[in-house]
Amino acid sequence: MRTPRTKTLAVGLLAAATLAAAGPIQSALAFISPPLVLVAGTQGTGTVVAKGAAVDVPITYTCAGPSSMDVQLQLTEAVGRRTAFGYAYANVPCSGQTISTTLRVQAQPGSATFGIGKGAASLNVFGFYCTTRTCYSGQDTFNSTIKIAK
């Protein structure tokens, strides 16, 4: 008989394998420490929207243990002599399944607008899970370069 810890580890390893097989995930991170599993990745691309005021970045994630997970994406891009930078944040539901969604990174006030090129992305996940006896928390960050296109 599998214990909850073994089952959660199996879900985490399956999630990591599913993300790897799902396609070109350029940046991926994983925090696997049963009973907490947090896995996320970008697909290495972003799409400029609203004349550069934002970039839509597709991500894929899996989490098990907590009911939700926090995902933050920071994007920085050199645009001429200026720098465009922005953040996206989402609290996403955890089901143990692999889910795809898109985060909209808004250019911050005072920064340049985003353009076509390459940007430095920093993807961060955080989650916690409590039982009647103890609480578990996990966090991980992965830095990568993504292609920003129209």
CA distance 16 to 30: 8
CA nearest to 120, candidates 146, 148, 83: 146
Stretch 60-89: mean pLDDT, rounded? 95
Looking at per-residue pLDDT, the higher value among 59 and 34 belongs to 59
pLDDT of 18 strictly over 60 = no
For 1, 77, 148, 150, the CA distances from 40, given in Å and listed in that order, are: 29, 22, 19, 24
Level-2 CATH architecture, domain 4-149: Sandwich (2.60)
Question: Which pTM does this prediction carry?
Answer: 0.80
pLDDT band at 29 (very low <50, low <70, confident <90, very high): low
For 64, the 3-state DSSP assignment is: strand
